[in-house]
Amino acid sequence: MPKYSIINSNFWGSHQKTAFSFLPQTLEYLNAGGRVSNASYLGAKLLKIYPSIEIKDGLLVAGKKYRGSFKKAALHFVEDFLKQDQLDLTSLKLVETVGLDPDTKAAIENLLKEQGIQPGEWLQAGAVITCHGGPGAFGISAIKK
């Protein structure tokens, strides 16, 4: 069996067991890439709306929208992520792109500690998340039981 077949079968078997979402701090990069219209971009910027992006079945799809400051939106985003059924919270990973505010990171870590979850180390986002989320994006991931 060719190596790519083994990798492909492992990926398609495991992607359904992974929950991953991220919250872009700006829609500028999604707008530049043609994924968000100019009207949506301007509306979100004016109203301080931050849409979450989820990976479902290997595809990036729009999730819930959050309003307010990015820090406030990020905290609500984490709370909603933790409400998902059957997550193995010991596998929880936090992901950031360059430019995430240290105060936001600290607030997220404190929220997790209040929930009895050890935050662990932060991971640097890869190219796909960075290209779509831009600077200051935040992501969270866990394995489903």
pLDDT tens column, 27-69: 998 999 888 899 999 999 999 999 999 988 778 889 999 999 9
- pLDDT band, very low/low/confident/very high, at 1 (cuts 50, 70, 90): very low
Tell me the CB-side half-sphere exposure of residue 25, using CA atoms within 13 A.
17
Q: Which sign does the torsion angle of CA 82, 46, 71, 23 carry?
A: positive
Q: List, in order, residues 6 or more apart from 29 with CB less than 8 Å away.
A: 131, 132, 133, 134
Question: Closest by alpha carbon to 134, among 103, 98, 88, 91?
Answer: 98
What is the residue whose two structure tokens read 């010991």? 90
Q: Which sign does the torsion angle of CA 68, 73, 75, 81 carry?
A: positive
Question: Do residues 23 and 75 make contact, with C-beta atoms less than 8 angstroms apart?
Answer: no
pTM score, whole prediction? 0.86
- pLDDT band, very low/low/confident/very high, at 11 (cuts 50, 70, 90): very low
For 69-124, the pLDDT digits (tens) are 999 999 999 999 999 988 999 999 999 999 999 999 999 999 999 999 998 889 99
